[in-house]
Amino acid sequence: MKKRILIITVILTVISCKAQQIIPIEDHRRYLDEGIEFPEGGYIKDIHHLLDKYVGKWKGTYIENNYTYEFEIKKRLYISKTRDLKIDELIMRYRITNNNGKEVFSTLSLSNKSPYVIQGRYLYNWKNKTYYVLGYVGKEAECGQEGNIFIRMVDKNKMELYLSTDIDMYSCETEQILPTKRITLTKQ
């Protein structure tokens, strides 16, 4: 009798368990481009630690507006609220100051749930260079402060960053506060 209960328990456990399918983070964009559905219980995982090199504090000055940028990048595990999917991603907080040292905007103290904390999306290969793409929504999003941020390692202590917007700034009295041309950041 005990043997039957054990066998039935094992069979039910095997049937009810879902194997987690791991998708390397470098394949994430291909799934999106080709319309491949992510498997239930899937995990888009940074198997090869491709995101680790971006983690840390970065600083640079953008000549176009004379702003100094401080970025803090962390790696986290994102668990989707709409489907059974986990994703290793980067999140980015930042502080912008003008040439007088006055703070223009900062997200350093905001929670991960804030829309102003920049959220990671995917790795993107273009012209033999690998970029990590993050989604940006600024405080004046309705005026055009939004788009994709592209970051790329130049070497272990230097990184390029720029914002690509889909739309021009509307006729609001606001400026695009993130660099739309490449800025080189130095690891702190």
User: Which pair of structure tokens corresponds to residue 48?
Assistant: 């090869």
Listed residue (80, 79, 73) closest to 52, CA to CA: 73
Question: CA-to-CA distance for 83 and 110, rounded, in angstroms?
Answer: 26
Q: Taking the chain, what is the end-to-end CA distance rounded to the nearest angstrom?
A: 66
Q: Give residue-wise pLDDT tens across range 53-102.
A: 999 999 999 999 999 999 999 999 999 999 999 999 999 999 999 999 99
State residue 20's pLDDT score: 80
pLDDT at 7: 66
The DSSP bridge pattern shows strands 183-187 and 158-164 to be antiparallel
Query: Per-domain residue ranges for the chain?
Result: 2-187
pLDDT digits (tens, 9 = 90+) for 156-170: 999 999 999 876 656
Instruction: Give residue 143's pLDDT.
Output: 84
State the pLDDT confidence band at 44, using cuts at 50, 70 and 90: very high
Report the candidate in 166, 161, 143, 139 with the shortest Cα–Cα distance to residue 151: 161
The C-alpha atoms of residue 32 and residue 166 are separated, in whole angstroms, by 19
